[in-house]
Amino acid sequence: MGIQSEKTRRMTLPSSRIKAVTFPPPPTTVEPDSKEGAKLARMHLNEAPFGPSPRVLTAAAEALTNAHRYPDHNAVELIGRIAALTGVERSCISVGNGSGEILIAVAQLAIEVGDEAVFPAPTFPTCGKGVQIAGGKLIEAPLRDDGVNDVASMLAALTDRTKLFYLCTPNNPTGGVLSAGEIAVAADTVPDDCLLVVDEAYHEFANAEGGPDVLSILQRRTGPWVVTRSFSKAYCLAGLRTGYALCSSPDIRDALWALRSNFNLSRPALAAASAAIADTEHLAHVLRQTLAERDRIAQTLQKMGCRLYSGSANFLTFQANGDAVNLATMLGEQGVLVQVLPWPNSKGSIRVTIGSREENDRFLTGIAAARKDIV
């Protein structure tokens, strides 16, 4: 009898928390080396158009010869290089399968069911998704008109229940960069029982232009903090999925470490990321080319009368006169993929990744052809 009633019990999976996750997955795109994919200018995912450096390719290929063995879970070599690069102690560094994985873990370590987390809106969605999965409540503060996180209104949203405070600089999707003063105010004001998270996926680009030293500002903070960074952007390794976290203390790092699945970084990823840090020439080349091409695109868009949001990353965000969806559709017909944003108003805006010179030319040609929708 007991067994029968067990059998008629209804399946309630997935849990209501998972059902409630509202964040859409990334867009699907055909593979770059397929016949169709080769014709596309992929300017919608903020990837690097440059391949990894030859030194990185060699290191990753060598790592494959031991593909039958699990990789180093402790990521000793990579963490040593990150420590040397950033000046942060090894005991305060964790690694992830992309910084996105760390952004989910960061929410898990800070949020209990019913806690609040303050976010700018719009921003990169993954940490917010982590908060939802952990049963937390998102409190969103609209960006300033210039596309920068509005620290003052975010701080005004703090309550006793706030356990996570997320800043993104440069902010994706708008490119806005926080000033040193704004980061310092957040570091000083966010309470000590709240985790301050700063997503610096585009750090290398902002740094190349003299952006604020987020790390040294946070080091003054008494409360906990985590900075997340990525190898997907300036280091050209999006397909290998590697990111890292710099933490205020070994306690926070140990929590992130505990949340890692075993061997979460593959052998080629570990080897490639270590080699990428060592290859400073390749990084300098990527930064130089990206910033020069970004300036070229920005000047052309400005001449056409677009409203451009200033940003220090590998993408540009702009508003044309017409509807952003129409413009993106026209570009799409030319094989140029860009991201439409439902921001700052009903016309929306476009985020375009800085591609190779050839891709950028294709984008500019497409924009010129659609000129009547712009000016």
Ligand X SMILES: Cc1ncc(COP(=O)(O)O)c(C=O)c1O
Task: List residues near ligand X by CB under 6 A.
Answer: 46, 98-100, 124, 168, 172, 199, 201, 230, 232, 238, 243
| Cβ at position 18, least distance to ligand X in Å | 20
| Cβ at position 110, least distance to ligand X in Å | 17
Rounded CA separation 23/249 (Å): 30
322 to 147, 341, 349: CA distances (angstroms)? 19, 13, 9
Toward ligand X, which CB reaches closer, 230 or 360? 230
| Cβ at position 243, least distance to ligand X in Å | 4
| Cβ at position 98, least distance to ligand X in Å | 3
* 98-114 residues labelled b (16+ CB within 10 A) or e (exposed): bbbbbbbbbbbbbbeee
Toward ligand X, which CB reaches closer, 252 or 313? 313
Toward ligand X, which CB reaches closer, 81 or 370? 81
| Cβ at position 126, least distance to ligand X in Å | 6
Backbone angles phi and psi of 75, in degrees to 5: 45, 45
Q: CB nearest ligand X: which residue?
A: 98
Toward ligand X, which CB reaches closer, 263 or 374? 263
In this structure, what token pair is assigned to residue 343?
Answer: 């921001």
Listed in sequence order, the residues at least 6 apart from 269 whose beta carbon sits closer than 8 Å to its beta carbon are 60, 71, 97, 237, 240, 241, 242
Rounded CA separation 276/235 (Å): 6
Q: Which of 227, 129, 220, 124 has its CA nearest to residue 174?
A: 124
Q: What are the helix and strand counts (H, E) for the chain?
A: 15, 13
Q: Which of 194, 263, 213, 268 has its CA nearest to residue 237?
A: 268
| Cβ at position 199, least distance to ligand X in Å | 5
122 to 139, 186, 190, 344: CA distances (angstroms)? 12, 19, 20, 9
Toward ligand X, which CB reaches closer, 274 or 370? 274
Toward ligand X, which CB reaches closer, 283 or 370? 283
